[in-house]
Amino acid sequence: MATTNVTRHSRRAVTAAGLVPAVAAVLLLGGCGGSSPSAAAKDGSAAAKDAGAAGGETGASDVPEATTFTTVPGAPEDPAPDGVTDGLVVHPTQPVPVHDRPDGRRVATLPAEQLGGPTWVPVVETSGGWRRVLLPSRPNRASGWISGAGLRTAHTPYAVRVDLAERRLTLLKSAREVGRWKVAIGGAKTPTPSGRTFIMATLARKKTSPSPIVLPLGTHSATLDTFGGGPGTVALHGWPDASVFGRAVTHGCVRVPKDALNALSRVPLGSLVFING
């Protein structure tokens, strides 16, 4: 199994996923969105074909690609939504099959890229040569098993905790608090979903945007199937009006102050985000 140190992983996350072209980085703010659905569908079709050719596995095109735009029926639910890990994250260098259990039924294909940058997902359980990872797809808390063979690996010391009751975000490094901020969360009709998820991508925005950087998570609104043309992806992002912090006013995303966004933008992809009520 190939290994990658944390510094290289962190730098790769910012340079490869943070400065993607504007067309691939359409994540509409004011709520939650995603990049172009038509482009994603086109990429997913190609990835499924590549996965089938690479693995020699029949039926590869019959399962969805595990992205923020898709639903993965049969994906097992995250068994420990509050569980911490040792920070292991993995990157498939080519599309890989996702199974419902070690050596079980194939339910999806995990692509090598998400939203124009590399796919990094957290490992939450290990069984022999298999790795259980969190998926960026619906339903929320979806997970799946992938083979550990041929994956690039890294360890991130970071974790993010969002306390919905206190409307507070805490950034941890090696289990020690390195930052704490009041944030805005989803309103009563569009609540921020709880559970264990992860930082899926880092997207650069135009200077005129309410947030210069957006951090999409591997979770979705529970009440909105779409928002602003996107798939209802929940994200961490900035907001220019400080009066919103400490309030429940968003469409599900978590709005953070500028200094919090600066700190979060340096957190490696795949790092866990715990959202608790």
Where do the structural domains in the chain lie, given as residue ranges?
2-24+63-155, 158-276
Name the residue with higher pLDDT: 259 or 31: 259
Residue 226's pLDDT is: 67
Confidence class of residue 277 from pLDDT cuts 50, 70 and 90?
confident
Residue 160's pLDDT is: 98
What's the CATH number for 2-24+63-155?
2.30.30.40
What's the CATH number for 158-276?
2.40.440.10
Q: Please tell me the chain's helix, strand, coil percentages from 3-state DSSP, rounded to the nearest 5.
A: 20, 35, 45
Q: What would the two tokens of residue 235 be?
A: 């994200």
Count of residues making up the chain: 277
pLDDT in tens, 46-75: 434 444 433 434 357 799 999 999 999 999
Out of 39-43, 182-186, 260-264, least confident range = 39-43
Residue 227's pLDDT is: 66
Res. 23: pLDDT tops 50: no
> Among all chains, which residue has been given the structure tokens 């979806």?
142
Res. 96: pLDDT tops 60: yes
Out of 21-30, 99-108, 143-152, 255-264, least confident range = 21-30
Q: What would the two tokens of residue 220 be?
A: 């979705």
pLDDT in tens, 226-259: 666 679 999 999 999 999 999 999 999 999 999 9
**Average pLDDT of the chain to the nearest whole number:** 84
CA–CA separation, 232 and 138 (whole Å): 10
Are 53 and 120 in contact by the 8 Å Cβ rule? The answer is no
CA–CA separation, 70 and 67 (whole Å): 6
> Among all chains, which residue has been given the structure tokens 């074909």?
49
Residue 176's pLDDT is: 98
Closest CA to 261 of 207, 215, 197: 215
CA–CA separation, 222 and 129 (whole Å): 34
Res. 21: pLDDT tops 50: no
Res. 78: pLDDT tops 60: yes
Are 73 and 9 in contact by the 8 Å Cβ rule? The answer is no
Residue 170 burial class via C-beta count within 10 angstroms: exposed 0-12, middle 13-18, buried 19 and up: middle
Residue 61 burial class via C-beta count within 10 angstroms: exposed 0-12, middle 13-18, buried 19 and up: middle
> Among all chains, which residue has been given the structure tokens 């009066």?
243
Amino acid at 155: H
Percent of the chain with pLDDT over 70: 77
Res. 222: pLDDT tops 80: yes
CA–CA separation, 21 and 155 (whole Å): 28
Give the mean model confidence (pLDDT) for residues 102-109. 98
Name the residue with higher pLDDT: 76 or 38: 76
Residue 4's pLDDT is: 47
Residue 257's pLDDT is: 98
